């Protein structure tokens, strides 16, 4: 079931997320990439980016996925954490890429017109934001009909004993930037998205890649 939060609770959670990732920015690559990097990079290849495509990565973080994007597309990465974006900009400079734009932006209210992007990727974002349904609606809005949307995330287990543990640990996991009890239905029931692929990724298959078409 969805967690129904007040506007004040959402604002508090968003500020906490900014604070957490401002701290994690210094250690994120070394701490998380070994576990999450394979799924992130595979997701970029699944996008099937072609020259001229407009691509949006929601929650680009430190830019770990940026080297995988082929040149010739218009890639935009957004994130709510300025310290994370600073590291992404440094990575871009090292790559010598000038075809990627990085912007600080709240994914709940994207500053793009309807149907602007051909392909969207949200890696490990849905369990971070306070109101994933709002973020997903925005992703649908800015994706053109027929476009591709890929979400990579850890979702609550269907195995009841493990699900109980994840629910128990979620209040603690929020202090390192994510929830462990996010249900996959928070994504799959999104109006305007048709699921075309679902597969396990990363260490022990504990994360899930969901590929959609914008219907």
Tell me, what's the pLDDT at 153?
95
Tell me, what's the pLDDT at 58?
98
- Sheet containing strand 100-104, edge to edge, reads 100-104, 74-79, 54-58, 117-123, 143-153, 207-214, 193-201
**Residue in this structure with the two tokens 């506007």, named with its chain if needed:** 7
The model's pTM is 0.88
pLDDT tens, residue by residue, 96-148: 998 999 999 999 999 999 999 999 999 999 988 888 999 999 999 999 999 99
pLDDT band at 10 (very low <50, low <70, confident <90, very high): low
Tell me, what's the pLDDT at 114?
98
pLDDT tens, residue by residue, 18-36: 777 777 778 888 888 999 9
Tell me, what's the pLDDT at 187?
96
d(CA 190, CA 171): 25
d(CA 110, CA 68): 24
**Mean model confidence pLDDT for the chain:** 89
Tell me, what's the pLDDT at 1?
42
Burial class (CB in 10 A: 0-12, 13-18, 19+), 165: middle
Residues in Cβ contact with 88 at an 8 Å cutoff, skipping those fewer than 6 apart? 60, 61, 62, 63, 66, 77, 79, 102
Most confident option among 22-31, 63-72, 152-161: 63-72
d(CA 62, CA 49): 21
Within 13 Å of residue 191, how many CA atoms lie on the same side as its CB? Answer: 3
Tell me, what's the pLDDT at 193?
98
Domains of the chain: 7-214 (3.40.50.150)
1, 68, 69, 136 from 95: Cα distances, Å: 42, 11, 11, 30
d(CA 58, CA 77): 6
Tell me, what's the pLDDT at 24?
75
């Amino acid at each position: 079931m969805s967690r129904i939060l007040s506007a004040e609770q959402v604002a508090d959670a968003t500020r906490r997320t900014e604070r957490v990732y401002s701290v994690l920015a210094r250690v994120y690559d070394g701490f998380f990439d070994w576990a999450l990097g394979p799924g992130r990079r595979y997701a970029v290849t699944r996008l099937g980016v072609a020259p001229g495509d407009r691509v949006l990565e929601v929650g680009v973080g430190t830019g770990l996925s940026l080297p995988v994007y082929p040149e010739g597309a218009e890639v935009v990465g957004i994130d709510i954490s300025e310290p994370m974006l600073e590291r992404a900009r440094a990575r871009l400079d090292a790559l010598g890429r000038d075809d990627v734009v990085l912007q600080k932006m709240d994914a709940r209210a994207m500053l793009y017109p309807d149907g602007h992007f051909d392909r969207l990727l949200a890696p490990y974002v849905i369990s971070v934001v306070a109101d994933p349904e709002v973020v997903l609606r925005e992703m649908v809005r800015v994706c053109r009909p027929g476009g591709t949307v890929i979400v990579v995330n850890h979702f609550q287990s269907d195995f009841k004993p493990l699900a109980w543990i994840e629910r128990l640990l979620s209040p603690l996991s929020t202090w390192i930037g994510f929830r462990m009890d996010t249900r996959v239905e928070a994504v799959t029931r999104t109006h305007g998205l048709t699921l075309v692929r679902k597969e396990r990724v990363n260490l022990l298959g504990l994360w899930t890649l969901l590929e959609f078409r914008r219907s």
